[in-house]
Amino acid sequence: MPDEKTLDKMEALLNVASDYTRLKILHSIMNEEKSVSQIVDEVGASQSLVSHQLKVLKKANLVSTRKEGHKVFYILADDHVVSLLNIVREHVLEEK
């Protein structure tokens, strides 16, 4: 079994990833980087909500950013995030 510190980090990460809007954002940027306005359009949430959720996701190291002038582009931080999303989706789709 993992130690308490590791379990605490796992709990925090899963709590961040478990929000409905954040899940939509993560899936939106799963295959390509997007600007906040592109994410807003795809997710269907307000710009302020998306910006706030992106800040939370970045703090949890689930997304990374690239700046181009005044625009900031977001993408998943690494393949571990892709794997996590795929595993969760596969698990819920196979439930009976």
Record the pTM. 0.91
For 53-95, what is each residue's pLDDT tens digit?
999 999 999 999 999 999 999 999 999 999 999 999 999 999 6
For 2-56, what is each residue's pLDDT tens digit?
999 999 999 999 999 999 999 999 999 999 999 999 999 999 999 999 999 999 9
Q: What's the pLDDT score for residue 76?
A: 96
Task: Give the span between the Cα atoms of 2 and 48, in whole angstroms.
Answer: 37
Q: Encoding tokens for residue 62?
A: 């689930």
Sequence ranges of the domains in the chain: 4-94
**CATH code of the domain occupying 4-94:** 1.10.10.10
